[in-house]
Structure 1
Amino acid sequence: MADADTAWPSHGGETGERLRAPDFAVPELGPVAEWPGELKVALDLMLASPQRAFVTWGADYLFFYNDRILEAYRDENARIFGRSYNKSWPQVWEKVGQHFERALGGEAVVRPGLHVQAVRGNGEKVDIRVDLAMTPIRGADGAVLGIFGTSADRTEHYETAEREREARGALEEKTRTLEVVNQAGVAITGERDSARVAQTAVDAGVALIGAKFGAFFYNHVDDDQAEAYMLYALAGAPRSAFEKFPMPRITRLFEPTFAGTGIIRVDDVTLDPRYGDNAPFRGMPEGHLPVRSYLAVPVRTPSGDVIGGLLYGHPEPGRFSEAAEASLVSLAGQAALAMDNARLFEAVERELHRRAQAEEELRVLNEGLEIRVAEAVLEREAVFAALQQAQKMETIGKLTGGVAHDFNNLLQVISGNLQLLARDVQGNDKAERRVANALAGVQRGSKLASQLLAFGRRQPLEPRVLNVGKFLGGMEDMLRRALGEAIAIEVITSGGLWNCQADPTQLENAILNLAINARDAMQGTGKLTIEAANASLDDDYTRQLEDVPPGQYVMLAVTDTGSGIPSEVIEQVFEPFFSTKPEGQGSGLGLSMVYGFVKQSGGHVKLYSEVGHGTTVKLYLPRVRKREEVLVASHETVAMRGGSETILVAEDDPDVQATVVELLTELGYTVLRANDAQSALSVIESGVAIDLLFTDVVMPGALKSPELARLARARLPELAVLFTSGYTENAIVHDGRLDAGVELLSKPYTREQLARKVRAVIEGKRG
């Protein structure tokens, strides 16, 4: 440019047009005509440059640029052109200012690969990479007046180089992964110890994916648990870090791994919808190692069986990539194959060991064959003796049942008539006393029949699911009243006591019988200990016992400090009418009743005694996995009163029938009668209104009482049914238990028991 009036070259473009504008001026430099020649020369070179070029002038870095830069960087309203660079773009200046300062200081500056944020013409902000070169502009005296610079866009070049580096890094990582997997494969191939296979796999997985810790959990299923997982190997943390926590369960997060249905990879497990759903922890239990990144793969054999799962964690999110997942799947495959082989080898070793043991046992057996044969003979004799005892008990039970039916009917006639007679002799003290004595005799006879039925396992039971510990707690006051103050009572209940199933009334009678026997053995002074605990009877113990299956039981032990029982009579104490007490002081039916009740309940009785050191009787009742039942109030709590309803009495014994009809009539009821089930059904079919069918269980004829009850209810749905019997056989009692929904009043019964039971059944049906 020769002078100020000379126009800027046409190739100056848009920026040249700005310089040619008559009113264009830079406050620090004045009008264009007054600008230094060195600046004009530099601007002319800059405008003519085919590259992105710029010029800064002076200490304020007044900034000028050509159209090449304008094409790359949007300059809204010429905000920068001719203005101070460092003052207009302070944020950019923080990145590049040091390079400009070096150039203004006289140094030629080349800065390749500089990150710059550009704003495209459409307003889009993009990150680009440029090679920045700057040369000082000097005056005649050599002083630096400004900077001439170029900015070459090398974004594509650097991005290509970056992609190449990433590709090399990925290749190196893949190579490293393959090396680790191969090394692990070599280490576990042929390994015969499954625990070492698991540990090698877990260690390799931590190295592969950069996990903070890893674990292998082994699928372990037993009879008590449908699912169980055992920590088999651990890496990255001490085993003690996991010992205080329970093993994992099938939750939504763990299920795919242990079921073998999928792989779980989560960048942040605390944000996953499957995390925290399951009680009791709602996430990781307190004190667990922190986990954000989570990766788990199933370990499956070639046949598809899930051996377990490899689980890895890291306290930071987003640490596990798809590549990590793929490498872990490969590792899991090798581990599964190796572990399957190791397990097969271990199984072979166990089988060889078992065979060796069997051969050794056979050798020992052959050496002591005579001893074994003798033992087998003794064992057979013991089993035969137990069978004979069981058959004897069964025979006595059948005999007892037949006798009990007639005996209880007889007692019912006597009892009913005595109770009716008692009303006739009211006011006659002598007669009342004799009637009372006679009724007491009936009561003793009834108790005797009941004990015989209990021993013969013919007593109708109404079992409930009980917690024996709570049951004993409810009996303490009764026991203290029965035993007296001179006998100390201690009740011991083990923690975690299982539930059992038994008739609460019969169990109470059994405990009371044992306690009274103990009181008599201690002659009224001593200590009675009642203990309840869980117990298991194994095959060895039950092999020589009749009808006692091995398994889990609730054990109830009653121990006294009494005189004890001589060893020569211990085997007889459960037989009916046998007693160690002096004549006239016991019926000999207490222990036999306890024995029969426990056996009928599916349990076992064991007695331990030593003369001078007391006796322990242990009752074993089978464990049940059911919730404890709340015991409802007895019918004895129902008020004794009569009613105006109509009752049909079906009873084949004319004396019993006459007595019960009169008792019910006195209570205000309208009473119809039938001599057998068929006659009772005819009355019902006649259409007469009946509120209660009161029927004996055992009656002659083709139609049986349970069938009568079913047909009667079909015709009269609101009809209440009450059975009565002195011996139920199998009509309404099965497996020793009263059928569900059956109401029974056992003979002989008192007027009060009859009144309460009838009212309870009628009102219960209405309810």
Structure 2
Amino acid sequence: MEERYRLLVDAISEYAIYMLDTEGRVASWNAGAQRFKGYTEPEILGEHFSRFYTPEDLANGVPAKALSTARANGRFEAEGWRVRKDGEKFWAHVVIDAIRDQHGQLLGFAKITRDLSERKLAEEELKRSEEQFRLLVQGVTDYAIYMLDLEGNVSSWNAGARRIKGYEPEEIIGQHFSRFYTEEDRAARLPQKALEIAAKEGRFEKEGWRLRKDGTRFWANIIIDAIHLEDGKLVGFAKVTRDITEKRQAQQALDQAQQELFQAQKMEAVGQLTGGIAHDFNNLLMAILGSLEIAHKRALEGQNVVSLIENAITGAKRGASLTQRLLAFSRKQDLKFEAVDVPALVMETTEFLQRSIGPTIEINTAFPLSLPPVSSDPNQLESALLNLVVNARDAMPGGGVITISAHKHSLRSKQIPELAAGEYVCLTVKDEGEGMDAETLEKATTPFFTTKGVGKGTGLGLPMVQGLMAQSGGRLILSSKPGEGTTAELWLPVAEANVTPEPVNRASTGAALRHLAVMAVDDDSLVLMNTTLMLEDLGHRVIEANSAGEALRLLEQGQVPDVMITDHAMPHMTGAELARQVLERYPEMKVIIATGYAELPGGEGGDLRRLSKPFTQAQLNDALAAVEGID
């Protein structure tokens, strides 16, 4: 049996196991002892075990105290530095047991030593890391970094917390962190909610007002992280707070400056816009008033005034077109796509332009004998062409030639950016003007940008053309160089083969209507009189009302018409509101809303027939025919 134990002990290499006599001399030596300490058995047997101790321990009598303790208590256990044969130190866990015979007589000591150097180094590294982290956290002054227990009580406090919040560690450790919150936040249970969210989701982050020790407020960014053990047990929270009051104030100042800049830019744009609109409308009004004034004189003399009246009507239509462009810019309008004969539209448009742009400008047109129709809104395309021709005229104050041409092109994929592969007609307007440099060309389609000077342009012409092209599936391409004039290309998709172009002169359907009783409602007496004259000229009986209230009174008196045509923008009650009340009482009555808006504010009257102001007698007749169900 003893032999088996001896073999077992000698085979152990992870522990140094050996015997000491009563004086402390080595009496046996196993393989583990030889591996740890570096001594062979012949070298160490009979030597005192104190040679394994450091000089410091020897000077303090540690070996003798160890044997004394083991003799008195039966056992001695400790950790400490020990020395190998080569002088190298290692950290050891040591157990010395006293060995006695059956009579209690001390026979010697059994000594077991284990090398714990790696564990000791790891512990020291961890301790050093923890100390570095502690110094790091304590040294941070821009962030308040501290720990909370499960209830939210402060358990640590760094220098940043002391600087930001104003409390010394002894004043705040053990106190609940809710004291940093405002009364309003505490009443709303925000501190408790923050911990609940952090415990549930692992993290809570927010910005808000917090309180310093002296009662002053600061705007804080707060992060609360839940702290869990390896087994997942929640043990507390890590809280990081940063004072971002200055950052918030700087952002608010920046936002204010941006708002003021935006307001200034908006007012500048409004000034530019109103000046340009005034210029354009004054030109139109001059043509209208001038034509009517001469027509009035010639009519008194019995002369023919038809051409002058036609010129005034044309100018008024141009004014209506300008208004529609402005409305379309502010609120996107639905385009009415149809097949358009480009040469016919150009000829009809330039016939008017040639008379109005003056004798110094010559307009030349060039079209192939056969050109397919394009898919576009004819009214908007006409406006686009007018814009381009007027721009070309303005670029040649000394006169020159404007050339309008068109050609069919088959485009491959990506041949022109933003255009799909397919068949297109390129409508071109070219002038011999001053041209534009690269910077001006780049800004040419920017809203409100104009080179015509204050009050001489809205800066909306080219943006409107660009918008039309985008909605049509086409593109506006401008090319220009200083001194070489400007070329504007309108790339328009070819209409489907089975679609027939509409006539350029989009006249009324001329539908024959029965004579109707029509109530005309408008708070503007001039408009009301004009509408009444148009209706009476069409053979209808008219009931006039200058407000929604008067219209309701007339209905109550029994004057119930077949159709009501009402202005929308009236005081006290809008046309859409009037229509709702009327249709509730008289569901069989037809109602038409006349409005100058691109769309009714607030989406009112979405299911009612609309008549855009200003309207012609033909358009009025078409609206009546539509509500009567006559195509």
Question: How high is the TM-score relative to the length of structure 1?
Answer: 0.34
Question: How high is the TM-score relative to the length of structure 2?
Answer: 0.40
